[in-house]
Structure formats: C-alpha cells, structure tokens
C-alpha cells in the first residue's frame, strides 16, 4: 500500500503532493512501481496534528479523483474518519475505507462500507492524533490491542461487512511508545490469529529514527524496509509505505529466498 498525502502538514511529505498534478503523478508512479493499493488522505494523523473538516478534505481530494476520471490505475483506499469524505471517494472510484478510528468517530462509516461493498481497515489508536502521544499506558499492549481489534471487527461484521473485506491495523505509533510498538511487532501473530488480513504501517516513523539515530524522515529507508520485512515475516498481508519501489524489490528478494510470493 503506497501513501499519498494530499496535505500541507503530513510528517514525511506534507505539501509535496497538495497540488492536483503532483498528487496524480505520484499516485501513477506508485502504481507503476508495484503498489497494489494507494492510500489517499487529506488529513494528517501525525502526533499533534490539527483536525481537518470533512468539507475541507473533500475540497483537497475532489480534483485528484476528477483527474483520475473514475478509472484509477490501482486500487484506492481513502484514509479518513469522515463518512461524507468516504462516500465521495467511493463514488469517485475508491474501494477501501481506511479509518484510523475503526469506525468509532462516525459509526455510520461502517454502514456506508457495507452498503457500498467496500473494504475497511480498522486501526487501533489510543486517544486521537492531537493527544495520542501524551503518556500512553497499557498493562498488556498486545492483548489490549488484539481485544480492541477483535471487538471492532465483530462490530463491522454485524454492520454487514464481509469478513474477507475487513483488515486490521495495530496502529504502530498511534498512542504507543517505542516499547509498545516493538511489543506489537513481536506479538503480531496474536492479531493475525484473529482471522482477518493485517496491515502494518511503520514506514519512516519516529520509532525508526529512535532506533537508528536518524532524525530526518528521509534517512529512514533502511529502517522502513527492515520493518516491512519483519511485519510480513510475522504474518502481515499489507505494508503501508512511502517508498514503494524499494519495498517491492525488498519483498521480491525476501519472497524468493523464502519461496513465497509477495506481490
């Protein structure tokens, strides 16, 4: 899953793809590089980020979807917690809703997914982006995250979403310390065992900077690739990344060595 931030303030590439031409060119480039999905969002969820209204998200996104003319070159996921944004994106050609609130902020988003036959990504987050890194605490981070995701998946199924259309995301960096993130990656099998595909997003995140002493997000490629490979080895079905071509190459080599297909 490639990342397209149509935002001025995302932690890694805020502003680079805010213009429609730049956004569409980057989306097409990620598709050519081998992305199976591109996750398009118009609201940053970095720690401390300000909220963006539904109308403003739509204003940023609509020219991008219009430029694709309803025929994107790759499956599109809409990264939003707002039902109105998700609906507009689905009408314009998206097929997956990636909701970092797991359907808690606007519960009708899950009913929308069921009605439209869309896939959903349900993520664990403690708090909200503006506050999530304020002293997060867990007694058993893996157990608590797994229990939360199991409950949200059950609710999504009750809303009429097919089990095969539900993906779970442990929310690396969303209300977690470095120790919590590492524990989740080590214990990812407990989330895989819930029976839904698992998505992991670790690309360029601050935990990689802490582990490698690389304060610049642009210097975290090696850490991002290592994290992606570790996640796939632990059972992740999808990795959400900024560096699509490099990740595709790394997974191709890893898959050949292990006798697995990683497309």
What are the catalytic residues? Answer: 205, 240
Say how many C-beta atoms besides its own lie within 10 A of residue 182's C-beta: 15
Strand order in the sheet with 75-79: 2-5, 37-41, 75-79, 96-99, 119-123, 166-169
Euclidean distance between CA atoms 235 and 197, whole angstroms? 9
Contact of 38 with 76, CB cutoff 8 Å: yes
Contact 112, 157 (CB under 8 A): no
Helix (H, G, I), strand (E, B) or coil at 194: coil
Residues linked to residue 123 through DSSP beta bridges, in sequence order: 169
CA angle 224, 244, 42 (to 5 degrees): 90
Q: Give the span between the Cα atoms of 259 and 253, in whole angstroms.
A: 10
Question: In degrees rounded to 5, what are phi and psi of residue 166?
Answer: -105, 125
């Amino acid at each position: 899953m490639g990342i397209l931030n149509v935002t001025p303030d995302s932690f890694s590439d805020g502003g680079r793809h805010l213009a429609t031409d730049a956004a569409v060119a980057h989306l097409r480039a990620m598709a050519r590089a081998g992305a199976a999905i591109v996750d398009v969002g118009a609201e940053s969820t970095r720690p401390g980020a300000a909220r963006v209204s539904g109308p403003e998200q739509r204003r940023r996104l609509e020219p991008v979807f219009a430029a694709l003319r309803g025929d994107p070159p790759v499956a599109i996921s809409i990264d939003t917690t707002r039902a109105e944004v998700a609906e507009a994106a689905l009408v314009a050609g998206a097929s997956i809703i990636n909701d970092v609130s797991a359907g808690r902020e606007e519960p009708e988003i899950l009913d929308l997914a069921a009605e439209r036959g869309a896939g959903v990504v349900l993520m664990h987050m403690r708090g909200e982006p503006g506050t999530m890194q304020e002293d997060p605490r867990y007694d058993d981070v893996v157990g608590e995250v797994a229990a939360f995701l199991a409950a949200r998946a059950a609710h999504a199924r009750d809303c009429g979403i097919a089990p095969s259309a539900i993906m779970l995301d442990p929310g690396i960096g969303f209300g977690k310390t470095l120790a919590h993130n590492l524990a989740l990656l080590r214990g990812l099998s407990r989330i895989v065992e819930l029976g839904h595909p698992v998505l992991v997003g670790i690309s360029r995140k601050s935990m990689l900077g802490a582990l490698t002493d690389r304060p610049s997000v642009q210097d975290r490629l090696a850490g991002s690739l290592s994290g992606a490979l570790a996640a796939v080895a632990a059972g992740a079905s999808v990795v959400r990344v900024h560096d699509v071509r490099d990740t595709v190459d790394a997974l191709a080599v890893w898959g050949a060595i292990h006798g697995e297909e990683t497309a």
